[in-house]
């Protein structure tokens, strides 16, 4: 297992490089960018002082001549060059990419173009919100989906299985952000009740509250966002758990265990559970990435929760390339690490799986 882990860790480096290079090249071909936006602001009288916000590594649009920027029309060439220099676009694309990679080695993602703060500082500021949503929603989804999936597998074709399938179909078909809007309309003062706050992770007077009051206030604000993410995310994991257990229940070793007179619970949790959970564990990395950075995105926007999802969304809107590439780097690195953790858990649960042997045979 040790050799396999080392190989996977070494493989992370070229994977990250190729992903960053691909996205960097895509950005080069995309129209618009922070320089062009700044030129447009300056052309409309916003003033250079308002657009002089940050330097950064210039991981963005290509260093083409000022005539190719539509926003440069009507601006003196020296102002155009000054704006490009402020954002780091006076250097050629390959040099900007190299500088970006050098910074990433030391986890220096540059400075935000429009917030004028280091990207690392911004990400650390937003991280608690995304972690709160991600961890609690993942815990709720697994606490609901696994027992429900097992129960549906044991009751396959019976009333419980059929009746809960409608609930799962709704949860699977309806996007998370729709659940969020519906919950706001019904329970956050939209049209009916005002039981929960509309936005924010804590109240304005949070610092003045006692410890118990802070805990209650924290979960009071989290109730609707967590409910929206859970409703939008539990169906697929429940289906996966159900069919994984159904497949195992039909195998010969289960029939053999039952023929020995073992109880149904002993067969299920002593023999079937370990094998059936392998596929559930294999889906954990993608589930975590989906919950943390995809499902949370719309929820953070709708409930105005200042997390990484909202930060990335605003960065895309503003063409804030240091934030875009910084969050992309972190999300990709986290995904690769989670996949490696999943493989390790595979072998912990089932020692028969030997990745080193597979690698030598392959």
Q: Nearest 5°: phi and psi at 325?
A: -70, -35
User: Residue ranges of the chain with pLDDT lower than 70?
Assistant: 1, 28-90, 190, 286, 289-295, 349-362
* pLDDT at site 148: 93
Cα distances (angstroms) measured from residue 159 to each of 43, 145, 146, 151, 171: 68, 18, 19, 12, 19
pTM above 0.75, yes or no: no
pLDDT in tens, 125-149: 888 888 888 888 888 988 999 999 9
Residue 135 to residue 70: CA distance in whole angstroms: 45
Residue 181 to residue 188: CA distance in whole angstroms: 10
* pLDDT at site 63: 42
Domains of the chain (ranges, CATH numbers): 2-111 (no CATH), 120-318 (1.10.3720.10)
Inter-residue contact 228 to 183 (CB < 8 Å): yes
* pLDDT at site 353: 66
């Amino acid at each position: 297992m040790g050799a396999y882990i080392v190989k996977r860790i070494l493989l992370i480096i070229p994977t990250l490089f190729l992903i960053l290079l691909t996205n960097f090249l895509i950005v080069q071909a995309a129209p618009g960018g922070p320089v062009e936006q700044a030129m447009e602001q300056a052309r409309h009288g916003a003033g250079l002082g308002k657009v002089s916000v940050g330097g950064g590594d210039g991981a963005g649009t290509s260093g083409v001549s000022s005539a190719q920027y539509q926003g440069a029309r009507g601006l003196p060439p020296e102002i155009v060059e000054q704006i490009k220099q402020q954002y780091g676009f006076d250097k050629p694309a390959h040099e900007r990419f190299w500088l970006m990679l050098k910074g990433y080695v030391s986890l220096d993602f540059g400075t935000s173009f429009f917030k004028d703060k280091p990207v690392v500082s911004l990400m650390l500021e937003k991280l608690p919100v995304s972690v709160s949503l991600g961890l609690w929603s993942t815990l709720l989804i697994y606490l609901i989906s696994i027992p429900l999936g097992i129960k549906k597998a044991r009751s396959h074709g019976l009333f419980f299985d059929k009746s809960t399938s409608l609930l799962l179909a709704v949860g699977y078909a309806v996007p998370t952000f729709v659940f969020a809007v519906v919950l706001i309309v019904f329970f956050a003062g939209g049209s009916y009740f005002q039981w929960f706050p509309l936005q924010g992770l804590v109240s304005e007077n949070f610092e003045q509250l006692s410890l118990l009051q802070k805990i209650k206030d924290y979960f009071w604000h989290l109730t609707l966002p967590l409910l929206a993410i859970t409703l939008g995310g539990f169906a697929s994991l429940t289906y996966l758990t159900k069919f994984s257990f159904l497949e195992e229940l039909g195998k010969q070793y289960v029939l053999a265990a039952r023929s020995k007179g073992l109880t149904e619970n002993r067969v299920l949790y002593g023999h079937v559970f370990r094998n059936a959970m392998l596929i559930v564990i294999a889906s954990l990395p993608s589930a975590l990435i989906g919950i943390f950075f995809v499902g949370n995105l719309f929820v953070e926007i709708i409930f105005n929760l200042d997390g990484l999802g909202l930060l990335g969304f605003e960065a895309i809107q503003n063409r804030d390339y240091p934030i875009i590439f910084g969050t992309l780097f972190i999300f990709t690195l986290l995904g690769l690490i989670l996949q490696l953790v999943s493989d390790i858990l595979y072998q912990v649960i089932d020692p028969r799986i030997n990745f080193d042997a597979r690698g030598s045979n392959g």
